[in-house]
Structure 1
Amino acid sequence: MPDEQRPRRRASVRPNAVGAAVVALAADRSDRLGRPLEVLDLGGGTGGVAVALGEAGHRVTVVDPSPDALAALTRRARESGIEGLVTGVQGDGDSLAEVLDGRVVDLACCHGTLEFVDDPETTLRAVAAALAPGGVLSLLVSGRLAVVFAKALAGEFDQARSALRHPSGRWGPTDPLPRRFDPDEVEALLARTGFTVEQSRGIDVLRHLVPAPLVDSEGDRAAVAELDELLVEVAGSELLRILGHGLHVVARRD
């Protein structure tokens, strides 16, 4: 099924920590280049990351198959006073060359998108072609083992077993995600498509494991989010990379 026809459901990874990391990454890259960045946000939807980058002064092109999401993006950019810096274009990975029309970008974001495309390798090759040499990719994907643990802790053992054994990490036919990823799989995929991994960290290690009744207030949710951030910073936390609900990878185009 072509990307633009596929029903889209965003991967449910908390974007706040990733968004802050991308803004910091963009600031560092901008300092090195001595200018604001040209940014591609593939599958950027309503602009959760794009608007923050636009507010920091970077020029962002959001490519997404959903016209409703792009309409929301336009409203958010207008309300933030950055409509001249954030542009939404309907499309997918197959249309990047046409959308950019020969332009190259300094930073590409691909968050919660590889789960849904027809061929992740083809999509990453298109992103690599859109990046300038030495350009940076921020990639966020859903992790397989996180759902295995979550299903097992919920007593859904058959679904946990299915997610562990299924080639795409799916727990059953009604699973909303077409695929999930293992860290080694992601790193191999990036290597094949012209990238060198510079950083890889788990996102949302705890939030999806804590029973919902225990996080029914904003304070509870903030406390769990803070614990998640602290966990990935402590020594010996490398294992948490594979247990995160999401895997955030920063890679450089070779």
Structure 2
Amino acid sequence: MSESMRPRASLRTAVVWEVLKDALDRRAKESGRDTLDVLDTGGGTGNFAVPVARLGHRVTVVDPSPNALFALERRAAEAGVADRVRGVQGDALGLFDVVERDGYDAVLCHGVLEYVDDPAEGLRNAVEALRPSGTLSLLAAGSGGAVLARALAGHFNEARQALTDPAGRWGEGDPVPRRFTAGQLRELAGGAGVEVAAIHGVRVFADLVPGVLVDTEPGATEALLKLEAAAAELDAFHAIATQLHVLGAKAAPRDA
């Protein structure tokens, strides 16, 4: 895709998508099946579900919003993958009211833990939906990114609040109920029975660079995408990323 055709929104999803696509390819080879069963919890309108379906996989999207699921249905139809995308109304804490345990080769848990009342339970449910050695893709808001963003906007008191608040919130007006550090997500994943393979910083620079620069400077979008990809796996940049992505696999049960 040429840079003129690449939407600026791709800067926000490119790192996660490339990691996820490679993980699904590996999972397909390991399982010996070209078509995987994928669960997208909180998948909304299908930002990831529809591209995953385009790869040939079957995707079940669980989301509490009927409007989002309606938009998902329309989006899947427009993309020609309506037969591979199924939307059901539900949430992470009541996941097994609408889907089966141990039924999926991969589970996407993107933008969910910030909003559920019990992140540990929500993540455990996501992992319990996986088949043995299934792939987990976990994406959540990073606390350090909020601190940096508020400081660069000149809201220094809010930046300090986000730095010291256990939930990583900058104040009462903060629309995000909870943010995480890389260490917190690693601990949550381990407690849910996940063997963490990698943690990636997402939107390390994309939310900080002026849009006019990216949109008007020749080659800027492609260069920024490459910079994001290069920084994603470096621990030093996890502390300032807007989002954190954890890739892992369901651990084998321990011997009794």
Q: What is the CA distance between 1:211 and its match in structure 2? A: 3.7
Aligned to 2:7: none
Letter of the aligned partner of 1:228 in structure 2?
E
Aligned to 2:176: 177
Aligned sequence identity (%)? 44
Aligned to 2:248: 251
Aligned to 1:238: 235
Aligned to 1:228: 228
Q: What is the CA distance between 1:229 and its match in structure 2? A: 1.8
Aligned to 1:194: 193
In structure 2, how many angstroms separate the alpha carbons of the residues matched to 1:53 and 1:184?
28
Aligned to 1:9: none
Number of equivalences:
239
The answer to whether the Cα contact below 8 Å between 1:42 and 1:93 also exists between their aligned partners in 2 is: yes
Aligned-residue CA RMSD (Å): 1.8
The answer to whether the Cα contact below 8 Å between 1:39 and 1:59 also exists between their aligned partners in 2 is: yes
In structure 2, how many angstroms separate the alpha carbons of the residues matched to 1:101 and 1:28?
23
State the TM-score, normalized to the length of structure 2: 0.87
Q: What is the CA distance between 1:226 and its match in structure 2? A: 3.1
Q: What is the CA distance between 1:84 and its match in structure 2? A: 1.2
Map 1:39-78 → 2, pairs under 5 A: 39-78=38-77
Gaps of 5+ in 2: 1-10, 252-256
Letter of the aligned partner of 2:224 in structure 1?
V
Q: What is the CA distance between 1:251 and its match in structure 2? A: 1.3
Secondary structure of 1:163 counterpart: helix
In structure 1, how many angstroms separate the alpha carbons of the residues matched to 2:17 and 2:44?
14
Question: Structure 1 172/218 Cα, relative in aligned 2: closer, same or farther at 3 Å?
Answer: farther
Map 1:94-133 → 2, pairs under 5 A: 94-102=93-101, 104-133=103-132
Question: Structure 1 217/68 Cα, relative in aligned 2: closer, same or farther at 3 Å?
Answer: farther
- Of the structure 1 ranges 78-87 and 221-230, higher mean CA displacement relative to structure 2 is found in 221-230
Deviations 1:71-117 (A, max 9, x none): 11111111122111110001001232121245611100011111111
Secondary structure of 1:155 counterpart: coil
The answer to whether the Cα contact below 8 Å between 1:23 and 1:52 also exists between their aligned partners in 2 is: no
Secondary structure of 1:201 counterpart: strand
Deviations 1:17-36 (A, max 9, x none): 21232122111100111111
Deviations 1:133-189 (A, max 9, x none): 211100011111111112112221101000001110000101110011001111111
| 1:155 lines up with 2:148 in the alignment | no
In structure 1, how many angstroms separate the alpha carbons of the residues matched to 2:115 and 2:101?
26
Q: What is the CA distance between 1:218 and its match in structure 2? A: 8.8
